[in-house]
Amino acid sequence: MNNKYILGMIGLGTMGRNLLLNMADNGFSVTGYDKDARMLQKLEEDGKAHNLKGFASVEDFIQSLELPRRVMLLVPAGQIVDSVIQELVPLLDKGDMIIDSGNSHFTDTSRRAEDLSKQGIHFFGMGISGGEEGARFGPSMMPGGDKTAYNTVKPILEAVSAKVNGDPCVAYIGPGASGHFVKMVHNGIEYAIMQIIAEAYYMLKNGMGYNNEQIYNTFKKWNEGRLHCFLLEVTRDIFKVKDAKSGGYLIDVIKDEAKSKGTGKWTSQISMDLQLPIPIINEAVSSRDLSKFKQLRVVLANALPHETEKIDNPADFEVQLEQAFYFAMITCYAQGLHLLSQASTEYKYDMNLQEISQIWRGGCIIRAALLEDIYHAYSEQPDLAHLYADAGIQNKLKEIVPGTRKVIGNAIQNGFALPAFASALTYYDSFRTANSPLNLTQAQRDFFGAHTFERTDEPGIFHADWNSDNL
């Protein structure tokens, strides 16, 4: 068989198939492999214009690829990735490469890269964001690992990626598992933004008594301003959809128990390991978990009622709610980027936060107008310690924090749960507190466990005899 395909895709589900179609649209000769004959047929049907063909035999698939072979995986994360790699390795030659484009945990990516390197096979992990539409017409991609391997597919990835101001939304992230680490944090930010949208919806519906049409109009108005983002855009349209079965709005018959695939949880877990707080992301994860206790929530809602007061000036409150949303949104990105900064140091990823914010501007699920400001902040100060430290961001925070406090104060007074909004404000207040009460925590630790402490008036490590009569 003549070698003719520049890249082969394993996994021809929606994402894999759409990415192949995107590559074909951009003039690349590509093919795919899938054990499911229906997926092969679907590829041929959708790719008829480019005469796209797939393979049912992995041996024939591998033999059809140009050397060095470029094999991309878009299969479910976990054991399936290891199984596919195990099947591929005997068929590959030294110098060939495997690209894992699923949502793999970064520690798995590190292990796989090390194992394959010993066998002379290049490997790197690449996060892809944008869903099926992004894969088809331009995703945001976060490749990291073997740079030699990346450079051989760089022209393909740049061609198929989303573009913002002519810039491709793909960039080499760094060594090791940095690509999958960035995608994991991207997903954590995604969780957080979805949560603040849900909390804004909750206040519009329950605090202000808005119906679905009014909520649609509010989200539409907000999305036309500084809150513009993909997630708010799709949320807006949810409030127009009618339910064929009930005749009412579909949103009103959807059960309030949220599912998750675990990537938000991974972000929270690694933040604890790195000892870097990302409370708004943690609250988003916790809110999904708490939502599953529906029966208990119904019981407690009846047992522990709370009277609410009518909002006196709905127009003013809507403005304040928009400010609280923007405040929380800034904080979502600030916490995620701060975690990336810490991970870059800890794992020697050498990440460029300017480039990361650049490639998130288009194609991906967390794309937003705010990312232009974030991109410029890191362009001017590549070593910016925290997004809050940027003067432009500080000006925004000063403008919107008064309205944020009023919204959260109203919610607390009326018993409305806004965990992400409240967490964002507490995080902000904690970071702008020069002298925290944690000196007491250090004293406590030394009192009961002789864990020692540091002093403010001289260097060194100290321990006090807290039970001494002289104290």
List the single range of 165-174, 254-263, 353-362, 420-429 with lowest mean pLDDT: 254-263
Q: How confident is the model at residue 467 (pLDDT cuts 50, 70, 90)?
A: confident
pLDDT at site 471 = 55
Model confidence pLDDT, tens digit, residues 134-145: 899 999 999 999
Q: Is the pLDDT of residue 289 over 90?
A: yes
Fold match between domain 7-176 and domain 183-431: no
Mean pLDDT (whole number) for 247-262: 91
**Which has more pLDDT, 468 or 60?**
60
Which of 4, 94, 154, 190 is flagged as catalytic? 190
DSSP 105-144: -HHHHHHHHHHHHHTT-EEEEEEEESHHHHHHH--EEEEE
pLDDT at site 2 = 52
Q: Are the C-beta atoms of residues 231 and 445 closer than 8 Å to each other?
A: no
Q: Is the pLDDT of residue 469 over 70?
A: no
Q: Over pLDDT 90: what percentage of the chain?
A: 90
pLDDT at site 3 = 53
Tell me, what amino acid is at 178?
S
pLDDT at site 146 = 87
Q: Is the pLDDT of residue 302 over 80?
A: yes
Q: Return the CATH fold of 183-431.
A: N-(1-d-carboxylethyl)-l-norvaline Dehydrogenase; domain 2 (1.10.1040)
Model confidence pLDDT, tens digit, residues 8-49: 999 999 999 999 999 999 999 999 999 999 999 999 999 999
Which of 4, 114, 183, 372 is flagged as catalytic? 183
DSSP 8-state code for residue 466: T
pLDDT at site 273 = 96
Q: Is the pLDDT of residue 284 over 50?
A: yes
A 10 A CB-CB count for 330 gives: 21
Model confidence pLDDT, tens digit, residues 339-357: 999 999 999 999 999 999 9
User: Which superfamily, per CATH, for 7-176?
Assistant: NAD(P)-binding Rossmann-like Domain (3.40.50.720)
Nearest to 333 by CA among 165, 188, 183: 188
Q: How confident is the model at residue 310 (pLDDT cuts 50, 70, 90)?
A: confident
CA angle 377, 378, 383 (to 5 degrees): 125
Looking at 47-127, list the stretches that DSSP marks H as alpha helix, in order from N- to C-terminal side: 58-63, 79-88, 106-118
Angstrom distance (rounded) from CA 129 to CA 360: 9
Angstrom distance (rounded) from CA 227 to CA 326: 6
- Please state, rounded to an integer, the average pLDDT across all residues of the chain: 94
Q: Return the CATH fold of 438-471.
A: 1.20.5
pLDDT at site 1 = 44
Mean pLDDT (whole number) for 230-247: 96
Domain ranges of the chain: 7-176, 183-431, 438-471
Mean pLDDT (whole number) for 257-264: 83
Model confidence pLDDT, tens digit, residues 64-87: 999 999 999 999 888 999 999 999
Active-site annotation holds for 190? yes
